[in-house]
Amino acid sequence: MPIVDVENLTDLDKAKMELEQKKKEVPLERALLSKGCTEFMEAVQATADEDPLVKGIPEATNPFKEIKGGCVIC
Amino acid sequence: MGELDVLKKEAETLKTQIETARKAVNDTTMEAASSGVAPAPRIQPKARRTLKGHTAKIYALYWALDNKLMVSGSQDGKLLVWDTHAGILANCVPLKSAWVMTVSFSPSAGLVASGGLDNMCTIVNISGEKPKTMRELDGHDGYVACSRFLSETSILTASGDQTCGLWDLETGKQKQSFLNHVGDCMCVALAEDQNTFISGACDSQAKLWDIRDGQCKQSFIGHTGDINAISYMPNGQAFITGSDDCTLRMFDMRADQEVMCYQNAQPTAGVTSLSLSLSGRLLFAGYDDFNCNIWDSLKGEKIGVLSGHDNRVSCTGIPSDGMCVSTGSWDSFLKIWN
């Protein structure tokens, strides 16, 4: 797999690259934004109940609770 | 008209067609769609740990999949591996080059990768008694800004040479090159199935790539400055980017466009880093103004701030169990918040 020689790309090479890319992107199928937003919102809300940073973490089960007493030697 | 002008004119025509197609599916905004959603709770996470050990600016951090170990990279020339629960140092990896910009763990956390201004991605095995450099991935013509393991034997890099690279760690060779950005590549994120990834660059664009054939599939415009951070939303159909233009933006991949912009009333500080909570509801973003803002990703509202650093917040991270958010700063400290 030849590695692309980026340093020697001319302005013409870059313009060709961009044109080729746009040709590929024009025919993409695009879904309605409302559909994506709705699905995405539902997915987030469905899992928000198990999201520790959203619902909060009880002190007893918090792995980062304050380390009281003792001595930590590095 | 010269050949260059002809090509540019053709590309402009196609870009107009693309914008028309995008407008045709733009039947709502995320704000309108989420107007019925209850606001996210106003949270005020506390700084639970301050990890002191670095002696210079911290540029990168990464959580291990065990949700306990975290590695940080600093321009003091060291990678430090932390046991974040106990709040102590677990390992120290001295670097050949101090100019580190990215760190990451392999899935097993037995390997760490670092990259930076030496134009290389260095892989170190930390599972033994002493750290041992395993590979120096040499091939980029510019700095390595981001590295992400796909597995113990494969890694993806983003480089200042405007390409991303996929590397085989068994041979040390580059397997695939991803060229389409016209600015330094600053960040990448892998899709869960690892067939695709997204990248952000200094050409203000984010791009979606096919890992196997090296082709760019989609380009996302909207930002007006370097994109420094990128992350998929948990459902994998959208992603969020953070930029020097002081905004974060969410892009919907199926609608092929921006759906939300997260911007302060007086935007003055660039976004350096971002992390999403487990459900994706909370967006934590590190800024040049020393703060980490907390955004409601659905409603686009700022709901909190993590203040505590005395210099730029350069990196953030949330472990896979979502139990905290960590911030790393140019003030040389890391903090863990929840």
Domain positions in chain A? 31-56
A60 Cβ under 8 Å from any chain B Cβ: no
Helix (H) or strand (E) holding A14: helix A11-25
Q: What is the mean pLDDT of chain B?
A: 96
pLDDT value, residue B10: 96
CA distance A6 to chain B (A): 7
Q: Check pLDDT > 90 for residue B13.
A: yes
A33:B321 CB<8 A: no
Sorted by sequence, the CB contacts under 8 Å of residue B140 that are 6+ apart come out as B119, B120, B121, B157, B159, B160, B161, B163, B165
B279 Cβ under 8 Å from any chain A Cβ: yes
User: Quick one: pLDDT band at residue A2, thresholds 50, 70, 90?
Assistant: very low
Q: Which CATH architecture has domain B46-337?
A: 7 Propeller (2.130)
Q: Nearest 5°: CA angle at B228, between B190 and B22?
A: 70
User: Quick one: pLDDT band at residue A69, thresholds 50, 70, 90?
Assistant: low
Q: Check pLDDT > 70 for residue A74.
A: no
Q: Fill in the amino acid letter for B163.
A: T
pLDDT value, residue A5: 64
Is the interface score ipTM higher than 0.90? yes
Q: Check pLDDT > 70 for residue B42.
A: yes
User: Quick one: pLDDT band at residue B267, thresholds 50, 70, 90?
Assistant: confident
pLDDT in tens, B110-142: 999 999 999 999 999 999 999 999 999 999 999
User: Quick one: pLDDT band at residue A1, thresholds 50, 70, 90?
Assistant: very low
Average pLDDT (B232-244) is 95
Sheet holding B58-63, edge to edge: B58-63, B69-74, B78-83, B88-94
Angle between helices A11-25 and B3-24 (to 10 degrees): 30
Q: What is the mean pLDDT of chain A?
A: 86
Task: Check residues A6 and B310 and name the one with the higher pLDDT.
Answer: B310
B25:A48 CB<8 A: no
Question: What is d(CA B222, CA B226) in angstroms, rounded to the nearest whole number?
Answer: 11
Whole-prediction pTM value?
Answer: 0.95
Average pLDDT (B168-176) is 96
Tally of CB atoms within 10 A around B116? 25
